[in-house]
Each structure stands twice: as structure tokens, then as C-alpha cells.
Structure 1
Amino acid sequence: MATKKIKFEAQLKRLQEISTQLEDGDLPLDEMLKAFEEGIKTYRSCNALLEETEAKIQMLISDDQELSS
């Protein structure tokens, strides 16, 4: 799990960097498009990791509730 956290944190940082680059508007159009594409891929990867983590949490909560019953 630590590897996924590092991966998520690194991807989130990269997503913030891309967002800043796009907001600055200093990139040529072709580089801006490449950055946008990378941002979309990074966003989707982060979202998938979050969904996977949420599913694990829900499973743990469900298991805990079953043990308490």
C-alpha cells in the first residue's frame, strides 16, 4: 500500500504541476495539448487509485460490521 500512496502522491503532484503550466498559458499550443493529455491520463490514474482505496475501505467497514454482529 505504501507504494500506491507514493504513486498517488507523485501523480497528484504532477497533476498540480500540469495545472499550473496550463493556467500560466506560457506554453506553445502543441505543448499545451500534450500537457493537457498528460493531465487527463494522470487524473484518470489518480481517480482509479482513489476508487480502489474507497472500495477497500468499504470492504473493511463491512467486514467490521459483520464481526460486531
Structure 2
Amino acid sequence: MAGKSTYEKKIERLSELSTILERGEAPLEELLKVFEEGIKLYRECNTILDNTESKIQTILIKEEANDES
């Protein structure tokens, strides 16, 4: 199997960032940077999921059209 997808890598990083934030052991400035990175990754993952959902909907619509033919 090929390496992990970009999405999977982003999710892994989000998990790491979440752990850092939950511990709260880093200085506040570092926690803010971690939080900002997490928000950026969250938005990127959300975009990937939205695009994937659109592709799936397109495939399903095409398949439905083919079934009706």
C-alpha cells in the first residue's frame, strides 16, 4: 500500500497538536502557535472532506443517470 495520504497526515498532526494543547505544559505563546496550526489544518481537512463529498455526489448522480438509461 502506498504511503499515507495528505489527509491522513494532517489528521495525525491534528492529533499531535491536540495532545500538546490538552497537556497545557508549553508556554502560552507556543500554545497559541499550536492552536493556530491546528485551526489551519482543521480547515484544510474540512476542505478535503467537502471536495470528496462533492466527488461522491457526482459519481452517484452519474450512476443513477446510467441506471435510468
What band does the TM-score fall into relative to the shorter chain?
Answer: over 0.9
Letter in 2 for 1:47: N
The aligned counterpart of 1:26 is 25
Structure with the larger RCO, 1 or 2 (CA within 8 Å, 6+ apart): 1
**Larger Cα Rg: Structure 1 or Structure 2?**
2
The aligned counterpart of 1:38 is 37
Unaligned runs of 5+ in 2: none
The offset of 1:7, in angstroms, is 0.3
The offset of 1:60, in angstroms, is 0.2
Identity of aligned residues (%): 48
Structure 1 runs of 4+ off > 3 angstroms?
none
Q: Identify the structure with the greater helix proportion.
A: 1
RMSD of aligned C-alpha atoms? 1.5
